[in-house]
Amino acid sequence: MAARRHEPRGFPRQVLDSGQSLLIIFAGVLLIAGVAQTAVLGVNDVRAALAFGGLIAFGELLRLNLPGDREAAPIATAGALAYALLTRVGDTPAKLGPQQVIAVAAIGMLVGALPHLAVGRPARLSAMAARLVAVACVAAVFRGLENHSMIGHDWWSELPVMLSLVILAWLVEALISALIRTDQLRGRFGVTLLDELHVQLPLGAAVGASALLISFAAEVMGLAAVAVFTAPLLVTQVALRRYTGIRATYLQTVRALARVTEIGGYVEAGHSARVSKLAVSIGRELGMPEPALLELEYAALMHDIGQLSLRDPIPGGATVLVVRDEQRRIAEYGAEVIQQARVLNSVADIVRRQSDPCRPADRTEEPPLSSRIIRAANAFDDLVGSSVESTRAAAAVQRLRLDTASEYDPQVVEALSRLVSRRSVLGP
Amino acid sequence: MGKLSRIAWLYVGAVIIAAVVVVARGPFTGIRWDQVAVLGLLLIACESTATLLNSRSLAWSANSTASLASVILVGPVGAALVGCCTLFGIRRTPSLAHRLFNTGMFALSAYLAGRAFLLTGGHVGTPGPSSFPGIIGPFACAVLVHVFVNFSLLRGVLWATREPGIVLGRVGLDFKLVTTDIGYAAFGVLIAALWRVLGPFTPVLVFIPLLVARWAVAQFAAQQRAYEATVSALCQAVETKDFYTRGHSERVSRGSVMIAREIGMRAERVEAIRYAGMLHDVGKLGVPTSVLQKNGALTDDEYAAIQLHPMRGLDIVREIGFLDEALAGIMHHHERIDGRGYPMGLAGDEIPEFARVLSVADAFDAMTSNRSYRGARPVPEAVSELRKWAGTQFDPAFVDAFVAAIARDGWKAPTGADQAAGDVLSGDVLSGDLLAGYSVSGNGTSGKGTSGNGVSGNGPSRNGVSVNGVAGTISESARELDDPTGPLRAIESI
């Protein structure tokens, strides 16, 4: 329950676009080449291969979802990187070829994914492929240097190389995931990449440090290092899983409670959900980063909570039809309610300014972008409602466009218009 | 500071002086100062990143990792010196006395652990391959001594600073925390073992995963607090508008949690019932205001509309994933044991456990709150009413549990200022009225908040009082503000 995916995927899984299929094919080729070459050359140090393969499979079994429907397998990644960076086990130098690292990592991942498949959870091939490619990059560089003894055997010569390779792996994985997400969510690549790096940073640091520790510790304590230095990652993983769970619950709860205005007859059914969906799409179209999008979503869901202060519901809940002072009062009350939670102050600000025109007559500061987005999305939904007719939507956009001189932000209305025309092409 | 009793002063003073003596006596021969410096920095880093644990108002840091590593690498005196770095931790402690006590305690624990390490045959210095596995036994002794001394000193200060007349209850020095501490301490041997291959970079590398682990735990706790605060704010918005006197949901939530704890529910179920309590009346928004505010007798239609509210509530909260069992509680909280409740008319054990708990807390809060037609009933009177209707309206087991919990922890009934003058739809809760305490707050401009001051733990975490120890620190968080008689309150006055 905790790891429930709470955001819709952009596409059904069957319809993988060419970029993703290319990635998966590339990973498949790596797998086959690695396994074939290892089979020909023979496995170097079977015990180590089994230990690390086991760790990778275990980590893959425990993969987790991060906020924003991302998949990560920190323990598997740490194990694979550590294997790629292994210099000695006890007193024996580890003379691994890169092909063996790739083969062990790939087989470990597949084995770890089997139980998931068995219980009907489909493997997310693109995420697995991204992880494998990152490991392969590290293995190719490091094994080349190490096996030709180009790195000394002191921590001050090994560590900088290893450190930069671990960072490289983190960058490669983030880059690939960002490419995939840009494609799925129609966001902007730069913004998506920054989001990705931001989300992956703490976990990436822990994974990288654990990988280095395991590979260094293997020299001192042999293969026991594999188990010992997995422990902090395990704790991290448990906590992150619960964190993701409660975050999902949080969103569900706000979604559910936002509906009290609908049940109370204050707004049309489905209004807050539609406005929030539309607002988030507009925000993404305008290149807002992920934390801001989350705030926007909360604010959009709760934008009508202030209507609870009205004694009698507005007919149909259409705030676009009531006078400005009344709108402002509703917004103010809503913001007060949200502010009571004390943790959502910026959301409260967004809600407070939602009824302000984008160019205030008294030349005060213009409302934040999120407020302007909610204002436009709310007006659009008040005019269109749950209707899916494209002519009606186009007419609504036209009406908003007429008001861009003072009321609505032209940039937001243009983004809305692009979304609407795209939707009418793709169908509802 | 002045409030500290003489015993407490003596105790804190003795700990600090003992630490000073130990450090001053030396000997300092053979201590590698570079290692002391690096480990000291590690300890400061650990100390500065102490996280508050939501559940027990405990802060928690990985100090013992650094202490135990220094026991192996630099011996007892060196470890005591490293322990002294606690003084420079970058975190807010309320007073110098705290800081000095924490420092003294850490230095002493580390010193005694070092002594135990030597006594059981350990060798001080950077371990090589030949040191294993021989080092494990002495190291284990050192860990146990460290944890024991640490906890004992901490217990001592909690005892010395307790308020008179309050029994020192559970303060969170429980089994789980001891195990966690031992786990962190065990990382000390890893730092020592890796020193040969990684040099002074070892603590940095070991510290990163630990830091991230603690960051993740803190993220979780923060998110949970945010969640609670948001749910509670939204519930208040709902009830302020039309229906209940303010704070009803929160008090019902608190009462249900008291019952749940009393009967020994698992922690996750207690959490679920906490939210069920907060959300139990959300469905009343679906009942037309005119019906709820009607003063005369209800027509059959209006009555039917009111009976629907638990179902409407269910409609709203159904999509909240984790509330599975809470859903049943919300839907059936107006059922009665004798089967005369609504919406389904379930009886006895057919009624879900959550619903039976909620109905007790719900009725009790309705009785002890002000109504326009009567003042709030005193708690003893409400208790006897509960007892009277146990078996017909309420589950007797839960009534007993609730009464026991109230007798022990007390009950904070809302004061008059907390409530708007409420109109009441119909008679009393327990006079056989199925409406069980509906009341309608006239305008919702009542005083600030409720007596409960929010759900426990939803305030900004305060790093207030801290007595460092354990895997770190005991701090008082906002949670204790809820319960001024709680044991941790005692040390607030240091």
Looking at residue A253, its pLDDT comes to 84
Looking at residue B422, its pLDDT comes to 35
In terms of domains, do B210 and B256 share one?
no
In terms of domains, do A210 and A320 share one?
no
Mutate to test the interface with B, among A167, A329, A340, A351 (most CBs of B within 10 A): A340
In terms of domains, do A89 and A152 share one?
yes
In terms of domains, do A165 and A263 share one?
no
Domain boundary among A243, A270, A293: A243
Nearest by CB to B317, from A216, A220, A256: name it.
Answer: A256
Is A253's CB within 8 Å of B233's CB? no
pLDDT class of A425 with cuts at 50, 70, 90: low
3-state secondary structure of B50: coil
CA distance A76 to A52: 9
Query: Under 8 Å CB-to-CB from B323, ≥6 apart: which residues?
Result: B272, B275, B276, B279, B317
Looking at residue B289, its pLDDT comes to 64
Q: What is the pLDDT of residues B84-119, one digit of tens each?
A: 988 888 876 667 887 888 889 999 999 999 999 999
pLDDT greater at residue B136 or residue A425: B136
Nearest by CB to B237, from A217, A245, A337: name it.
Answer: A337
Nearest by CB to B199, from A155, A233, A344: name it.
Answer: A155
Domain boundary among A243, A278, A303: A243
pLDDT class of B141 with cuts at 50, 70, 90: very high
- Looking at A254-268, A321-335, B461-475, which range is the least confident one? B461-475
CA angle B205, B211, B213 (to 5 degrees): 115
CA distance A48 to A36: 19
- Tell whether the model's pLDDT for residue A264 goes beyond 80: no
Q: Are the C-beta atoms of residues B234 and B460 closer than 8 Å to each other?
A: no
Is B216's CB within 8 Å of A309's CB? no
Domain boundary among A193, A212, A243: A243
Residue B476 lies in a domain: yes
Q: What is the pLDDT of residues B296-346, one digit of tens each?
A: 677 787 777 778 888 888 888 887 776 678 888 888 988 888 888 888 888
Rg, chain A, Cα only:
26
| Residue in this structure with the two tokens 């509670």, named with its chain if needed | B232
pLDDT greater at residue B122 or residue A103: A103
In terms of domains, do B66 and B203 share one?
yes
Other C-beta atoms lying within 10 Å of the C-beta of residue A311: 8
In terms of domains, do B287 and B343 share one?
yes
Is B190's CB within 8 Å of A229's CB? yes
Annotate B199-216 with DSSP letters as a single string.
GGGHHHHHHHHHHHHHHH
How many separate domains does chain A show? 2
Percent of chain A with pLDDT over 70: 91
Compute the residue count for chain A: 428
- Tell whether the model's pLDDT for residue B482 goes beyond 50: no
CA distance A378 to A276: 9
In terms of domains, do B285 and B345 share one?
yes
**By residue range, what is the domain housing residue B214?**
6-221+459-493
Q: What is the pLDDT of residues A129-168, one digit of tens each?
A: 999 999 999 999 999 888 887 777 777 888 899 999 999 9
Nearest Cα neighbor of B144 from B86, B64, B43 is B64
The CA distances from residue B54 to B180, B219, B277, in Å, are 16, 11, 20
- Tell whether the model's pLDDT for residue A189 goes beyond 60: yes
Annotate A260-328 with DSSP letters as a single string.
HHHHTTSS-TTHHHHHHHHHHHHHHHTT--HHHHHHHHHHHHTTTGGGGG-SSPPGGG-GGGS-HHHHH
In terms of domains, do A106 and A231 share one?
yes
- Tell whether the model's pLDDT for residue B120 goes beyond 70: yes
CA distance B4 to A427: 73
Q: Are the C-beta atoms of residues B252 and B365 closer than 8 Å to each other?
A: yes
In terms of domains, do A276 and A422 share one?
yes
State mean pLDDT over A210-214: 92
In terms of domains, do B399 and B478 share one?
no
Nearest Cα neighbor of A104 from A71, A123, A141, A76 is A76
Give the tokens for residue A30.
């790596």
- Tell whether the model's pLDDT for residue B292 goes beyond 60: yes
Nearest by CB to A253, from B199, B237, B320: name it.
Answer: B320
Looking at residue A365, its pLDDT comes to 79
Looking at residue A75, its pLDDT comes to 94
Q: Which chain A residue lies closest to B229 (C-alpha atoms)?
A: A341
Looking at residue B59, its pLDDT comes to 59
In terms of domains, do B465 and B436 share one?
no
- Looking at A175-189, A232-246, A320-334, B163-177, which range is the least confident one? B163-177
Instruction: Report the gap between the CA of A141 and the closest CA in chain B (Å).
Output: 22
In terms of domains, do A29 and A129 share one?
yes
In terms of domains, do A78 and A151 share one?
yes
Residue A10 lies in a domain: no
Looking at residue B134, its pLDDT comes to 83
State mean pLDDT over B190-213: 86
Q: Which chain B residue lies closest to A240 (C-alpha atoms)?
A: B216
Residue A250 lies in a domain: no
Give, as one character, the DSSP assignment of residue A65.
E
How many separate domains does chain B show? 2
Residue A12 lies in a domain: no
* pTM of the entire predicted model: 0.76
Is A342's CB within 8 Å of B190's CB? no
User: Looking at beta carbons, which residues of chain A come within 8 Å of B224?
Assistant: 246
In terms of domains, do A210 and A293 share one?
no
- Tell whether the model's pLDDT for residue B398 goes beyond 80: yes
Domain of A283: which CATH number? 1.10.3210.10
User: Looking at beta carbons, which residues of chain A come within 8 Å of B199?
Assistant: 155-156
Instruction: Report the gap between the CA of B364 and the closest CA in chain A (Å).
Output: 26
Q: How many CA atoms lie within 13 A of A426 on its CB side?
A: 8
pLDDT greater at residue A365 or residue A65: A65
CA distance A339 to A337: 5
Domain of B395: which CATH number? 1.10.3210.10
Residue B195 lies in a domain: yes
In terms of domains, do B214 and B188 share one?
yes
Name the residue type at position B145.
Answer: V
Mean pLDDT computed over every residue of chain B: 74
In terms of domains, do B473 and B430 share one?
no
- Tell whether the model's pLDDT for residue B445 goes beyond 50: no
- Tell whether the model's pLDDT for residue B356 goes beyond 90: yes
CA distance A111 to A58: 9
Name the residue type at position A251.
Answer: L
Question: CB-based burial of residue A358 (10 Å sphere; 0-12 exposed, 13-18 middle, 19+ buried)?
Answer: buried
Q: To which H or E segment does residue A227 belong?
A: helix A224-228
3-state secondary structure of B53: strand
State mean pLDDT over B231-258: 77
3-state secondary structure B5-30: CHHHHHHHHHHHHHHHHHHHHCCCCC
Q: What is the pLDDT of residues B361-374, one digit of tens each?
A: 999 988 888 765 56
In terms of domains, do A216 and A339 share one?
no
- Distance from chain centroid for Cα B473: 14
User: Looking at beta carbons, which residues of chain A come within 8 Å of B241?
Assistant: 308-309
Residue B239 lies in a domain: no
Q: Which chain B residue lies closest to A87 (C-alpha atoms)?
A: B197
**By residue range, what is the domain housing residue A287?**
259-426
Q: Are the C-beta atoms of residues B55 and B74 closer than 8 Å to each other?
A: no
In terms of domains, do B473 and B423 share one?
no
Give the tokens for residue A65.
């979802």
Looking at residue A158, its pLDDT comes to 86
| Residue in this structure with the two tokens 């049309």, named with its chain if needed | A268
CA distance A376 to A416: 8
In terms of domains, do A62 and A190 share one?
yes
Looking at residue B4, its pLDDT comes to 67
Q: Are the C-beta atoms of residues B144 and B160 closer than 8 Å to each other?
A: no
In terms of domains, do A239 and A269 share one?
no
In terms of domains, do A66 and A145 share one?
yes
The CA distances from residue B19 to B5, B108, B454, in Å, are 22, 5, 42
CA distance B409 to B483: 9
* A to B CB pairs, distance under 8 Å: 167
State mean pLDDT over B378-387: 89
E strands, A98-256, are none
Nearest by CB to A260, from B210, B224, B282: name it.
Answer: B282
Backbone region of residue A4 per phi and psi (left: phi > 0; alpha: psi in -120 to 50; beta: other values): beta
- Tell whether the model's pLDDT for residue B488 goes beyond 60: no
In terms of domains, do B469 and B379 share one?
no
Residue B256 lies in a domain: yes
SS3 content of chain B, % helix, strand, coil (to 5): 60, 5, 35
pLDDT class of A424 with cuts at 50, 70, 90: low
Other C-beta atoms lying within 10 Å of the C-beta of residue B123: 13
Query: Under 8 Å CB-to-CB from B253, ≥6 apart: which residues?
Result: B273, B274, B275, B276, B277, B278, B361, B455
Instruction: Report the gap between the CA of B210 and the closest CA in chain A (Å).
Output: 6
Looking at residue A321, its pLDDT comes to 57
Q: Please count the helices (runs of H) and the strands (runs of E) in chain B.
A: 17, 6
